[in-house]
Structure 1
Amino acid sequence: MQTTPGSPALPVHLDRTTATPLPAQLAADVRRLVAAGTLRRGVRLPASRALALELGVSRSVVTQAYEQLVAEGWLDASHGSGTFVAGTAARPSPAVVAQGATPRTGPRLVRLDTGTPWIDPRHRAGWSRAWRDVAAATPPAGYGDPCGIPELRAAIAERLGRLRGVECGADDVVVTQGTTDGLRALLDVLPAGAVAVEDPGYRAAVATVRSAGRGVVDVPGRGTPTVPPGVVATYVTPAHQHPLGHVLPAADRVALIAAARERGAVVVEDDYDSEFRYDVAPVPALASLDRTGVAYLGTASKSVSPSLRLGWLVPPPHLLDAVRATRAVRHEGISWPVQRAFLSMLRDGYVDRVVRSARRVYADRAPRVADALAPHAEPAGPSAGMYSTWLLARDRAEAAVRAAARAGFDVPLLSDYARSSGLTGLVVGFGGVSDLELDAALRALVRGLDDTPPRPRPH
C-alpha cells in the first residue's frame, strides 16, 4: 500500500459484505494495530485522501474513522500536520495483557473507577485557551478573597440557578478545593456532634467526617433517608446516590428536609454526577427546595478534571459568615490561576461542551455494560453518570474482580463502599477508559462470572 512520507502501511481490510459500516471497520482495525503495538506512539498515519484512494472508499469513510479514534484518545490530529498515534495509546493494552503478553511497565492496572471523567480530546483547544487567558491576566498582589474570585463566584451562582434551580448570589458561594474541602469547611462551623452518612456511600466523605473528630452514623443508602437523633448533619447524594445510582424521589426529599428541620440538623447535599443524566432531565437540586437548611456542595472534578481540585460550597445563610471568617483567618483561598482558568472555561463554553460530549459517550457505554452484566447481576439503580453498580453475591463479585485483575483491570467491589451494609456486587466505572479498554474489561468480568455459577439456594 502506498502511503504518505513517514506514514506506515496500514494492514487493514474492509468487508463490504457485512452490515458493519466501513468507518467502524476501519476504526476497529486501527485500534487493533495500536493495541498490538504495530502502530507506536507518535507514528503518523496516512492522510485521509491518500488512504481513501488506496482502500477504494470515499474520503468521508477515513475521516469519520479518524475522528472517532481522536475522540476516543487513540489518535491526535493537528491541523496542517497530520494524524498521529496518541501518547495515551502507548501503554500496554489490557486486551494484549489478557492474551498473555507481559506489560512493559509492570503490573499497573487500568482502574475502572467512579470519579475519572471522559474528556473529549477534540475540546483540547478550549483547555489551552483558558490557561493562555491566565497567563495574560494580572494576579492579585496578596492572598485574594478567601471565598474565591468574585467573578467566578458570580458565574457559579448563575450556573447553579440556571441548571440546578439553586437561587443564590455571588456572595453566597464559597470556592473550595473540591467536595471534601467544602465539607470540611462546613464541619468546622457546625456544633459538636456526629454526622449521618449514607451506607454504602462516599468513602472520602466518611474519612473527612472522621478526620474532623466527629462520629459517623450509618443510614441506609437505599430507601427513604433518615436523620437519626443527635446528629448535627446528614450527608446525602440525592441526584445520583453514590454508589448505588438511584435518584432520591421528590416525596423523600421533602421528608428528609422536614426531618432535618425537626432535629435541628443541616442536610449536606453533595450534588454528585448531576450533570450526567441521560435517561431523563437532571432533577433539580435539593437546595432548590430549602436554602435555609441545606448546604450545597459541587465540584468541577467530574466535568473538567479531578486534578483541577476546584469545587464550591453554598452554605445555609446562618453559617455563611462563620465559614468565611474561618477561611480568612486560615488563608484558605484557592489557587488564583486555577480559579481564573475555570472562569475562562465557563465563559468560553468549554465546560458545557465537555459535559455534552461526555454525556453522549456515557449514554453509549452504559447500555454496553448492561448488555454484558444484566444476565449475571441485578442493577442497583438506573443508568446515569459515568458508572453503574450491579448487585450479586460476594463470592461471584470477587471472582469477577479477580478475573478483571488478571486481564489488567482494577474494578471496585460494592463492599468497598459499605460499612455496616450487607450489599455486595460490582461498581463498574466507564468514564476514564477507552472503548477498547471497557470492552476488554467487560469480557474479563463475564469470564469470571461464567466460571463462578450461582450457588443453589438451600431448601
Structure 2
Amino acid sequence: MTSSGTNHAPGPASMEGESSASAAWELLLPAASAPARGRGRALQSALREAVRSGRLAAGTRLPASRELAADLGVSRGLVTEAYEQLTAESYLRSGRGAGTWVSGTVRPAARTVRDLSPRAPGARVDFRPGTPDLALFPRSAWAAAHRTVLDRLPHSALGYPDPRGLPELRVALASLLARRRGVVADPERVVVCSGVAQATTLLGFVLRGRGATTVGTEDPGSPEHASLFASTGLTTIGLPLDDEGLAVGPLVRSGVRAVVTTPAHQFPTGIAYSADRRAALLDWARATSGVIMEDDYDGDFRYDRAPVGALQGLDPEHVVYTGSVSKSLAPGLRLGWLIAPASMTDEIVARKRTMDLGNPSVDQAVLADFVAGGAYDRQLRRCQRAYRERRDAMTEALATHFPGTEVSGISAGLHIIARLPERFGPQDELLRRAAAADIALRPLSDCAATGADRADSGDGTDDGSVRLVLGYAHLAPTAVEAGVRLLAEAVRRGRAGRA
C-alpha cells in the first residue's frame, strides 16, 4: 500500500510519518468490511481511534482518498467524507494541493494503565496478613450457581435492586449468621454492602449525621478503620487493650459514643474478648446510648473449639454487626453485610441508596444460591482444614529457624503474632534485611495508633522488641517453611555482616 497519492506532493514530514501510517491502515480493514449502511461511520470511528491511540501520530500524512479507497475496496466518496468529517473535528488538517495530515491538536491517550491493587509486586514471599488463599475459591461450584441463577432470574431482577440487597440473599444470610455466629438477624435489617469497608463508611456517615465527631478504635488494631472513618469526616482515637480485650476504663474516659471492636478474634493480637469484658462493653453502651461496631472479619475460622459467638447476639440494639466473604471466598467479590439496630436501619439504607443504588443483582443471587444450597458451609470446612495445616507449618518453621520465638493468636484466624528473641533484632534492621531479600512483612507496630490518636497508653508495641504479624493462609505449607527459612538466612547474613 502506498502512503501518498500521485496528486499529493510530499511535505517535509511525509517520509517521517509513512512507516507509522502503513501499520495503522490495518485498523481500517474491519471498518471496510462493515455492512454497507454503517460503513462510513465505521471508517470514521476507526480513523478517529487510530489518532486518539497514537497509532497515527501527529504529522503523519494520509494516503490520497482515491488510493485509500482502492486499497480498502470502498468508494472514494466514503473516504473523502471521512477525511472531511475528521478535519472538521480537528483530528486531521488539509490544504489545497498539500494533502491530508494528522493534526497535532489531539493528545493521544496514555497507553499504560496502572494497577493500584494492594499487592507486593516482586516479593519472593509475602507474609503480610489479611489475604486468604485465592486458589481455594470454588470456581466450578460458583460457575454452576451462576448458570443456575441466570436461568432462573426474571428480567425484572436485572433492574435496580432493593438497596438493602436481594430479599433471597438477606433471608439466606440471616439464617446463616444466626446458625453459625449466634447473630440476631432480621432479614429486614440486613444490608448487603461492598464488604466491611463500605459497612464502616455507611456507619460513619450516619454517626456524623447524628453529630458524632470521634470514634474509638482498638490499639493496636486495623489501620483501615481510621482511614475509612476519616473519609466520612470522623476522627478516631486508639483505645488500649489488655488480656481480656478492649480496656473499659480508657473507653469511658475518652468520652466517645461509638467504638469499633473485633471481639471474636481481635486484630491483630488474636485475643478473644472474655465474657466479663463483653458484658462490660455492653453495659457501657447501654449507659451512654453508645454504639459498638463489631467487625467479624474472620469469626468462622477457629481451630481449637467452636467459634466464639458474635457480641451482637447479646444486645442487637447497641451493636452494629458487620462481616463479608472476603476471607471465606475472595475479597474481589466485594460482598459483605451489615446488621444495624432498628433505630439506625432506615438511615443506613438511605445512605446506601445514595451511595451506589445497591450491589449487583446477579452476584447477590449467586451468593444466595451458594449459601442456601450448602456450598458456602462446604467452602468454610475446606478452608478451615487448609488454614489449620498452614498455621501448624508456620509455628513449626518459626521453632526451627527462629528458636525461642513466642507465638500468640494461633487458635483462630489467618495470622499469628510472632515475638522474636532479641538476638534477631533490632526490628528496623530485620525489616531492612527482609526487604532486601524481597520478603514482605508487617510489624505489629504498624497496627498501633499514632501518639496523637492514642488514648492513655498503648500496649507496648513500641518497646523495641521484634514483633511481627505473619499471615499464612495464602501460602502453601511448603511455601510457609521456605519463606521463614529465607527470612532466617537474610537475618543471619545481616548479623554476620555486623560481626
State the TM-score, normalizing by the size of structure 1.
0.71
CA distance in 2, matches of 1:322, 1:396: 49
Alignment of 1:109-188 (within 5 A): 109-119=124-134, 121=136, 123-136=138-151, 137-138=153-154, 140-188=157-205
Amino acid at match of 2:449: R
Q: Measure, in 2, the Cα distance between the counterparts of 1:193 and 1:236.
A: 18
Indicate how the Cα distance of structure 1 residues 358 and 152 shifts in structure 2: closer, same or farther if over 3 A, else same. Answer: same
* Alignment-derived partner of residue 289 in structure 1: 314
Question: Which residue is 1:334 aligned to?
Answer: 359
TM-score (norm 2): 0.65
Give me the whole-angstrom Cα distance separating, in 2, the residues matched to 1:141 and 1:446.
Answer: 54
Residue in 1 aligned with 2:487?
445
Distance 1:124 1:142 in 2: 26
1:400·1:444 contact (CA, 8 Å) conserved in 2? no
Matched with 2:57 is none
Q: Is the 8 A contact 1:232 1:266 kept in 2?
A: yes
Cα gap change, 1:444 to 1:404, in 2 (>3 Å)? farther
* Partner residue, 1:372: 397
Is the deviation greater in 163-172 or in 393-402? 393-402
Change (3 A) 1:335 1:141: closer
Does structure 2 retain, via aligned residues, the 8 Å contact 1:146–1:334? yes
Match of residue 419 from structure 1: 449
Which segment drifts farther, 261-270 or 421-430? 421-430
* Structure 1 residue 450: Cα displacement: 4.8
- Is the 1:404–1:448 contact (alpha carbons within 8 Å) kept by the matching residues of 2? yes
Deviations 1:228-265 (A, max 9, x none): 44312110001111111111111111011111222221
Larger mean CA deviation between 283-292 and 362-371 belongs to 362-371
C-alpha contact (below 8 Å) 2:439/2:487 kept by paired residues: no
Report the counterpart of residue 347 of structure 1 in structure 2: 372
Partner of 1:311: 336
Contact 1:245-1:380 within 8 A present in 2 as well: yes
Q: 1:409 to 1:205 in 2, by over 3 A?
A: same
2:215 aligns to what SS in structure 1? strand
Match of 2:383 in 1: 358
Secondary structure in 2 matching 1:113:
coil
In 1, the alpha carbon distance for the partners of 2:218 and 2:121 equals 37
Q: CA deviation at 1:396?
A: 3.8
Q: What is the match of residue 388 of structure 1?
A: 416
- How far residue 299 of structure 1 moved from its aligned partner, in angstroms, is 0.6
1:436 aligned counterpart, secondary structure:
helix
- CA separation of 1:451 and 1:331: change in aligned 2, threshold 3 A: closer
Which protein is richer in helix relative to its size?
2
The runs of at least 4 consecutive aligned structure 1 residues that moved more than 6 Å come to none
Is the 1:245–1:384 contact (alpha carbons within 8 Å) kept by the matching residues of 2?
yes
Distance 1:349 1:124 in 2: 15
Percent of counterpart pairs with the same letter? 36
Superposed CA deviations along residues 329-356 of structure 1, whole A, max 9, x for unmatched, are: 4443111122122112212322212211
Q: Distance in 1 between matches of 2:436 and 2:271?
A: 31
Residue in structure 2 matched with residue 9 of structure 1 by the alignment: none
**1:213 aligned residue:** 233
1:300 corresponds to:
325
3-state secondary structure, aligned to 1:383: coil
Is the 1:176–1:310 contact (alpha carbons within 8 Å) kept by the matching residues of 2?
yes
| Alpha-carbon distance between aligned partners in 1 of 2:158 and 2:287, rounded to the nearest angstrom | 46
Please tell me whether the aligned partners of residues 387 and 429 of structure 1 are also in contact (alpha carbons under 8 angstroms): yes
The 1-side partners of 2:335 and 2:128 are apart by 19
* Correspondence for 1:265 among 284, 290, 300: 290
TM-superposed CA distance for 1:106, in Å, is 7.9
Cα 1:396–1:436 change in 2 (3 A) is farther
Is contact 2:264-2:296 (8 Å) kept?
yes
SS of residue in 1 equivalent to 2:470: strand
- How far has the Cα of 1:430 moved from its partner? 1.0
- Aligned equivalents of 2:358 and 2:374: distance in 1? 25
Highest CA radius of gyration, 1 or 2? 2
1:99-110 matches, cutoff 5 A? 107-110=122-125
Between 1:322-331 and 1:271-280, the stretch displaced more is: 322-331
Q: Name 2:213's counterpart in structure 1.
A: 193
For 2:242, what is the secondary structure of its paired residue? Answer: coil
